Amino acid sequence: MLVKSIHGRTETHSPGLLWRFYRWLRGTEQILVRPTRELPLVLISFAGGDDEGVERLRGALEETWPTLPDSFRRRYTPILSDAPPLVVVLLRRRNICTCLGHHHPHGTESRTTRRLRNLSGVRTGELDLAFEAIRDWEPLPLSHLALPPEASTAETRSFQWQLALLAVLLHELHHLTNPQEHEHIVRKQSQTFYEDVLAHYLSERFHVEYGLQRELRHEVTSEIGGEGAR
């Protein structure tokens, strides 16, 4: 398939023989998720045994997105208003190409998506997400250093995973609905969305700051303190 990854490369993408064998061995399952009306219906197609990834993606759509302040959700209103009413997400652990996800242009979709479109008559889009790779994703160099120690909890890591899944899904929907949009613009929007939502979460939940500005402020304060002690 010809797809564009979140890394900004346009390349010929194929799931490969190993992926096809994995799906054949484990079997394929589908689950329909009905998020808020702002988002399209999402049919998650996944290999048997990948339930954790499914639950995380469901959580991102059904729990994380609805709880975000309107100011964050409105950033994607123009994109979501043009999105297909139904989107098939091929959920994988990792992509052989190492990309976090791809949008699949019309005519390159899987048999499942083509069949759904033909049977329902509903405009249907398709993308894939690599849920384990997204869990390990560091959107910014040194971003792990910007997380305050008091907020480095299992709860935060869980929220980060679901937020990252949501950000990558929105990124690929952006490409799907606006295929001519430059990757730099698409990436900047999804990355800023991720950073701003995470900063808001940490502020509301732990009353701490997130980001490199916090580190710079800490360094300046330390330097001032050191000079005063001389």
Q: Where exactly are the structural domains of the chain?
A: 2-229
Cα gap 75→24, rounded to integer Å:
39
Q: What tens digit of pLDDT does each residue of 45-87 get?
A: 999 889 999 999 999 999 999 999 999 999 999 999 999 999 9
Question: Does residue 28 register a pLDDT over 70?
Answer: yes
Cα gap 104→80, rounded to integer Å:
17
Query: Tokens in use for 204?
Result: 């509301």
Cα gap 175→181, rounded to integer Å:
7
Name the pTM for this structure.
Answer: 0.82
